[in-house]
Amino acid sequence: MNFCSKLFIAIYLSFFCSIVPAQNWEQVSPLPAAFNKTHHSFAFSFNNLGYTVTGSSDTGVRDDFYEYNPNTDSWTALSPFPGGARSFAIGDTWDGKAYFGFGYNGTAFLNDLWVFDPTNMNWTALAPCPCSARAHPALVAHNGKVFVGLGSSATGNMKDWWEYDISLNTWSQKSDLPSLKRHHPYQFGIDNKIYTGLGHGSGIFNNWFSYDITNETWTEMMSLPGEGRVAGTQFSYEGIGYVLSGDGDDHNSMETGEFWAYNPNLNNWEQLPAHPGSSRWAPASFIINGEVYIINGTSFSEYVSDVYKFNLDESLSQLDLSDSNISIYPNPAINYITLKGVENQNFKTTIFDYNGRLIKSVLNNPVINIQSLSPGIYMVEITRLDSDKSIVKKLVKR
């Protein structure tokens, strides 16, 4: 094993905290001044465009709806959200549409649910939840359902769990979260499970749970290794879940904008580069072309209007920048990967799993069979044997 391989293994176990200095957050244009001081907005993306809707500001709850174009790095105001001004609402996307609702309108908690269709740019009201009206619950749209639960209501925190059937426009109640009541948790869906936890109840939590959609059962998973947190933003991408920013276990801003990745196949957490500045309370986020954007929020009780993006697809390591033309495709992959940029070279390809264990090594073959690999994230080290220079790429196996 060459020096780069040894270095890679040593630092890989801490998820590249020392190996990713070149992979930074990049600042982009903020929202217009009329809407760049908000928290508890909902953001989502379709067709390479981003959207953000409603939220709290220094003037009260809002009904604003904005569109972001990454090609022009610009924001455009759209028609206001027809469901009325609100904050502490929540939403998610599924099958080309966004589902959004609940929250607090300044005088009352809400239990409505809306769907946004980007093909006609219209919002449509769906059947309201027969549950208690609530603010900042968990909401995940996944596998033809919308799951809603937890949150705060007029009578306090809750831990109930509800399922909305998109095709039937009906609601049904499921088993409660097997833990303490809480509001503003983190949540996302991957494969046949919903993941939720953390949040604020009788304290700030760091415990984490999965809900099996088919069996309708809960399982406690590995807790977040860091301090408990509340009111950040979250998303899943290519089979990995992400928890970004939020308040720490003293319900105040953390020193850095912590960024964690959760691997459901391994049931473990790893830390990614923090966004600039201290952590943010109630920011919004969306993903466009493999880049996650963090939008607005507050930090140490001050509004933050800076918007940053982070490339989730970018190589997690480039130990030798002269080899940066080397790439892997397809990525994510199912059966085979092909290396581009190694033509007519003497090279070795080594694949490591998420725990840094050697999986396989191949000499001078740009096409590699990965059918035997379990779904998850792997690291591929490509070494030029004539120079002993290496580059490490992330591979997602579906």
Residue 321: which pLDDT band, with cuts at 50, 70 and 90? very low
User: Which is more confident, 195 or 324?
Assistant: 195
pLDDT(115) > 60: yes
Q: Residue 187 — pLDDT band, cuts 50, 70, 90?
A: very high
CATH code matching the domain that covers 24-311, chosen among 3.40.640.10, 2.30.140.10, 2.120.10.80, 3.40.309.10: 2.120.10.80
pLDDT, residue 9, reads 41
Q: How far is CA 342 from the centre of its chain?
A: 33
Give pLDDT, residue 314.
66
Average the pLDDT over 329-356 and give the result: 88
- pLDDT value, residue 166: 98
Length reported for the chain:
398
Tokens 């936890």 belong to 197
Q: Domain spanning 3-10+315-397 has what CATH number?
A: 2.60.40.3080
Which pLDDT score, from 0 to 100, does residue 344 have?
A: 79
pLDDT-based confidence at 354, cuts 50/70/90?
A: low
pLDDT at 342: 85
Contact 18, 31 (CB under 8 A): no
Q: Where are the domains of the chain?
A: 3-10+315-397, 24-311
pLDDT category at 2 given cuts 50, 70, 90 is very low
Please give the average per-residue pLDDT across 21-28, as a whole number. Answer: 74
Q: Indicate if the pLDDT at residue 19 is higher than 60.
A: no
User: Which residues, at least 6 apart from 87, have a Cβ–Cβ distance to it below 8 Å?
Assistant: 39, 40, 54, 55, 56, 61, 62, 103, 104, 106, 135
Q: What is the pLDDT of residue 393?
A: 82
Q: Residue 196 above 70 pLDDT?
A: yes
DSSP state of 226: S
Q: Checking DSSP bridges between strand 97-101 and strand 113-117, what pairing results, if any?
A: antiparallel
How many angstroms separate the CA atoms of 349 and 391, rounded? 10
Give the pLDDT confidence score for residue 241 in this predicted structure. 95
The whole-number pLDDT of residue 123 equals 98
Whether the predicted pLDDT of 4 surpasses 80 = no
pLDDT at 86: 98
pLDDT at 15 over 90: no
Backbone angles phi, psi at 34, to 5 degrees: -65, -20
The mean predicted confidence, pLDDT, of the chain is 90
Least confidently predicted of 41-55, 151-165, 173-187, 380-394: 380-394
User: How much is the pLDDT for 149?
Assistant: 98
Q: pLDDT tens digits for 247-298?
A: 999 999 999 999 999 989 889 898 889 999 999 999 999 999 999 999 999 9
* pLDDT tens digits for range 67-88: 999 999 999 999 999 999 999 9
Q: Which two tokens stand for residue 364?
A: 């001078």
- Phi, psi of 274, deg, nearest 5: -70, 150
Question: Region 377-382: what's the mean pLDDT?
Answer: 88
Q: Is residue 10 over pLDDT 50?
A: no
Mean pLDDT, to the nearest integer, of 384-389? 76
pLDDT for 320 equals 39
Give residue 196's identity as a one-letter amino acid code: T
pLDDT band at 6 (very low <50, low <70, confident <90, very high): very low
Contacts of 32 (CB under 8 A, 6+ apart): 66, 75, 77
- In the structure, what pLDDT confidence band is assigned to residue 238 with cuts at 50, 70 and 90? confident
List of residues 6+ apart from 92 with CB closer than 8 A: 44, 98, 99, 139, 140, 141, 142, 146, 189
CA distances from 8 to 292, 322, 351 (A): 26, 18, 12
